Structure 1
Amino acid sequence: MGTISSTDPKTKNTEPNSQINQAPSEKLRDSSPSEELGDSSPSEKLGDSSTVWQDPVEESDQSKEGGDAEGEEEGECGFCLFMKGGGCKDSFIAWEDCVEEAEKKGEDIVTKCMEVTSMLKKCMDEHSDYYQPILAAEKAAEAEVKKELEAEKNKEKEEISEEEVAAMKQAQG
């Protein structure tokens, strides 16, 4: 087998007897990926460095903590990319900035960002064709919260009624 100058299995080798998309070189198989990478995750013990997977959410969190702007942009969440892909990009960025600032200062996000949140919601309503999946999910979440609150309220009424009945029985008793 010919040598491959890159660990990328898709790298084209110039030797005539080699094939495109060959398996990784024998050298990769001789030492375990955990030794090479200093990590012992199960996916890396399979013997194929192409199986190494990193969670983009964790990468995003790490880049925000450690902080270069390029890394933060690369590891951006799918939701954020979706929100910035529509007509409300500027409103969403303003909302993100407000939330980040409130978190850094330990302020209440709802109170501090009420105005930018309202502007973002209005913009999303105006661009409902694009933001429909988010608006539908928000509406469903609101309905679920309302349902839970009503159930809790009814449960409290039942408990009060039971307490009143018990008190009346005891008074008559």
Structure 2
Amino acid sequence: MGAAAAAAGADPPPSEAAATPAREDQQHYVAAATGGVSGESCDAAAPPAGGGGADDAVEPVVIDASAVAGGAGEEEQGECGFCLFMKGGGCKDEFVAWEKCVEEAEAAGPSVDVVELCQDATAALRKCMDAHAAYYEPILRAERAMAADLESFQTEEAASHSAASALASEEGQR
């Protein structure tokens, strides 16, 4: 097993600050970090997909485990990779506000609509991510792909449903 495979399944980076990863490493890190993470508030769906321009400056990802472990107390030690990535860019404050809103909505119980309650926080995060699209591009790209897949699935389902209805109608006439 290679070093990349070991790193993908590892917990937070060592206590010293991690080196700034290359753009390809950021994309791999986000893909590895967002798959299979469970039990944390970061598992809630990311904000809806939107556009992103290539004109924005690239902001490096610096993951400092000491900030997570000994910071101001707002971050948990075993924080998910997705959360670390989101907080590593220019939208940390917006992400923390969105995360807090989701946590409060979930704590309020199943009768609370998280999407409706956190609409403003989600919109602020979305706007910020679009403004920092170069950094958040892996997330934005994944969201666009998921939206396209969902639309394709819904189109196929509608076609399948109407074909089944037509077949049932034909059989009923026999």
Task: Provide the TM-score with structure 1 as the length reference.
Answer: 0.57
Deviations 1:117-162 (A, max 9, x none): 1111111111100000000000111111111111110110001111
Partner in structure 2 of residue 85 of structure 1: 88
Highest CA radius of gyration, 1 or 2? 1
Give the drift of 1:166: 1.5
Q: In structure 1, which of residues 85, 96, 100 is the aligned counterpart of residue 99 of structure 2?
A: 96
Separation in 1, partners of 2:82, 2:98: 14
Partner of 1:73, secondary structure, is coil
Pick closer, same or farther for the CA change 1:89–1:139 going to 2, 3 Å: same
Pick closer, same or farther for the CA change 1:122–1:89 going to 2, 3 Å: same
Q: In structure 2, which of residues 146, 152, 160 is the aligned counterpart of residue 155 of structure 1?
A: 160
- The higher-RCO structure (CA 8 Å, 6+ apart) is 2
Question: In the alignment, does 2:133 pair up with 1:128?
Answer: yes
Letter of the aligned partner of 1:97 in structure 2? Answer: K
What are the residue-to-residue correspondences of 1:46-65 with 2, within 5 Å? none
What are structure 1's unaligned runs of at least 5 residues? 1-52, 62-68
The structure that is helix-richer by fraction is 1
Letter of the aligned partner of 1:140 in structure 2? Answer: A
Give the drift of 1:168: 2.4
Pick closer, same or farther for the CA change 1:152–1:167 going to 2, 3 Å: same
What are the residue-to-residue correspondences of 1:1-173 with 2, within 5 Å? 70=73, 73-106=76-109, 107-169=112-174
Separation in 2, partners of 1:110, 1:70: 27
Give the drift of 1:72: 5.2
**Identity rate of aligned residues, in percent?**
49
Partner in structure 2 of residue 50 of structure 1: none
